[in-house]
């Protein structure tokens, strides 16, 4: 995912992992997708209308903001244990975007575990890591422009990026998933596409 239009206030980047994600998603009829990111109407239209998925919009960034405002970011791990009501192995794909960058290690482990629990065998998970620790208070809305491009829209946040996970830590987080694609970008961001093995 590199910046094609770096000077734009809403840069557009290329993402080959997104392309693979969408291709695999297309192969799963009546797929159900969990989107942990902010509410993005364009993504709902793209995934619902073009791919034909059922989309569960979770807006986990809103949860983070609520915890940050209540000075309760250290309780996010506990909160996550009961956050998702989806049944075990009921979801075909999860879009995590860069949400792991905003968690502490305990919360990251719980979220990864919950994601693995929800995924069906053969299900896929897309996540971006390593945006870098930052004091900037903003989230990124990743808007799907087309099969290979994302528009980055920034909006105000109550917390900043906290966690920089090394590659080995990321692989440990998702130890039960297979790495389908792992791309390190010039920006330092690592795009990872995982798949839950079919038994």
Partner 1 sequence: MWKHREEAPGSTSGSDSVPSPLQPAVVPREFDQPRGQLPAVKDAPLSVGRSVVIKGELSGDEDLTIEGRVEGTIELRNHVLTIGLNGHVDAQVVAKSIVVLGRVTGNLTATEKVDIREQGSVEGNIMAPRVAIVDGAEFRGSVDMQRKASAPPTDQGVGSLTLDAKVPLSTMPAGNGEVARV
Specify the residue, 48 or 72, whose C-beta has the smaller distance to partner 1. 48
- Residue 196 binds partner 1 (CB under 8 A): no
Residues 76-135 binding partner 1 (CB under 8 A) are: none
CB of 147 to partner 1, least distance (A): 5
- How do strand 190-195 and strand 119-129 relate by DSSP bridges? antiparallel
| Of residues 31, 16, 51, the one with CA closest to residue 191 | 16
Which stretches of 27-160 are DSSP H helices?
A: 41-45, 60-69, 76-81, 105-118
Contact with partner 1 (CB under 8 A) among 71, 156, 186, 197: 186
Q: Please give the Cα distance from 104 to 162 (Å, whole number).
A: 7
Backbone angles phi, psi at 20, to 5 degrees: -65, -40
- Residue 187 binds partner 1 (CB under 8 A): yes
Specify the residue, 3 or 120, whose C-beta has the smaller distance to partner 1. 3
- Residue 23 binds partner 1 (CB under 8 A): yes
Q: Please give the Cα distance from 64 to 58 (Å, whole number).
A: 12
Contact with partner 1 (CB under 8 A) among 105, 145, 148, 164: 148
Residues 151-170 binding partner 1 (CB under 8 A) are: 153, 167
Contact with partner 1 (CB under 8 A) among 9, 41, 175, 197: 41
CB burial string 35-47: b at 16+ within 10 A, e below:
bbbbebeebbebb
Q: Please give the Cα distance from 71 to 68 (Å, whole number).
A: 5
Give 50's DSSP letter. I
- Residue 72 binds partner 1 (CB under 8 A): no
**Chain contacts with partner 1 (rule: CB under 8 A):** 1-4, 13-16, 19-20, 22-24, 26-30, 32, 39-41, 44-45, 48-52, 54-59, 62, 141, 146-148, 153, 167, 180-187, 190
């Amino acid at each position: 995912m590199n910046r094609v239009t770096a000077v734009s206030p809403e840069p557009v980047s290329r993402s080959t992992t997104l392309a693979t994600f969408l291709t695999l998603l297309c192969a799963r009829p009546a797929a159900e997708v969990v989107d942990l990111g902010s509410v993005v109407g364009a993504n709902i239209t793209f995934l619902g209308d073009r791919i034909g998925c059922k989309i569960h919009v979770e807006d986990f960034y809103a949860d983070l903001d609520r915890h940050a405002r209540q000075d309760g970011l250290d309780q996010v791990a506990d909160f996550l244990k009961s956050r998702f009501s989806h049944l075990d192995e009921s979801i075909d794909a999860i879009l995590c975007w860069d949400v792991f960058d905003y968690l502490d290690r305990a919360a990251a482990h719980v979220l990864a575990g919950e994601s693995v629990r929800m995924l069906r065998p053969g299900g896929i998970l897309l996540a971006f890591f390593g945006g870098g620790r930052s004091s900037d208070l903003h989230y990124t809305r990743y808007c799907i422009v087309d099969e290979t491009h994302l528009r980055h829209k920034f909006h105000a946040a109550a917390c900043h990026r906290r966690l920089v996970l090394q590659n080995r830590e990321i692989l440990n987080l998702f130890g039960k998933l297979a790495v389908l694609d792992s791309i390190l970008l010039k920006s330092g961001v690592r795009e990872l596409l995982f798949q839950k093995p079919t038994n």
